[in-house]
Amino acid sequence: MGEPILVTRKLGKVYRLGLRRKRVVAVRELDLSVERGEIYGFLGPNGAGKSTTIKMLMGLVAPSSGEASLFGVPIASRHARASLGFLPENPYFHDFLTAEQLVAFAGRLGGIPNSILEERIPRLLDLVGLGKAKKLPLRRYSKGMVQRAGIAQALVGDPALVVLDEPMSGLDPIGRKDVREVIFRLKEEGKTVFFSSHILPDVEAICDRVGLMLHGSLREQGTLDELLAAGARAVDVIAEGIPEGLADDLRRQSERALPKGDGWAFTFAQDAAADSAVHELVLAGARIVSVARHRETLEQLFVRRAEETNSAHARGEEPVAA
């Protein structure tokens, strides 16, 4: 385990809505830790409580219960906030500004001297890939470029922790790739990055650790290897030249069987069943093309946990964190 720099304990948020002041739990007893120098993916569907959590961490929404700290200091303190950089989910910037002017404006709001900004702004814009477009007004930027400009303004105070709320949402594949590369560069510079997303391939591609939010509760937290190790595993066996009788037997024994070229592709739920099938195929003179073991994907884990949580809510039960 590394050094935890962002920690929450029993953090919660309850809203009272409508004339009857109906109680709605947005975030429930969140115990979260983010370690120094890592990329942490805060994963969950829309409405899971990700943005509410981030707003509490940024001081935009007051928590109903619990606490949060940064470097051991309560996150509500001015000292803790000085170590944070933030990009909201739907940033709005005056589009007549250039990227250079936007970052300078953010820096002056943070009380950074002009002498430091003159050195820091060109470096930040180069970091996010906007060095050649720094004089263009934001109205001429693509959405991906605006996101990168937003990341630059979040970095102007040289924060230790950068919080990005849905930074890839609504971007095309090129824009998502650009933002992923910026996040990698931040890690290379020693920054800690905490970002929320519901785009599973982005989370799986770049994160060191992941937290899975469902219905306001943190259901999973850990590295991808840790989260996926306990999931269902399967073995694919592809073979050619299989005697017809043996092919019929293996189709009945396997979880799935599909024609593949001059042979068949079988999927077995257990290693033992796959090993037995390979033994039978070799004895029968079939040619083994490949044997591939694979584990549960992040998407499969996400869907499985979501179905379990939805079922628990339908029964009126509180889901239990795994």
Does the domain made of 4-228 have the CATH classification 3.40.50.1820? no
Which residue ranges make up each domain of the chain? 4-228, 233-295
> Residue 63 has what pLDDT?
93
Distance, in Å, from the CA atom of 235 to the CA atom of 275, rounded to the nearest integer, reads 9
pLDDT digits (tens, 9 = 90+) for 105-157: 999 998 999 999 999 999 999 988 899 999 999 999 998 899 999 999 999 99
Interior CA angle at 2 toward 182 and 40, to 5°? 35
Assigned token pair, 194: 């905490």
Sign of CA dihedral 312, 61, 199, 207: negative
pLDDT digits (tens, 9 = 90+) for 297-321: 777 778 778 877 777 666 665 544 4
Tell me the CATH number of domain 233-295, given options 3.30.70, 3.10.590, 3.30.110, 1.20.1440: 3.30.70
Q: What is the pTM of this model?
A: 0.77
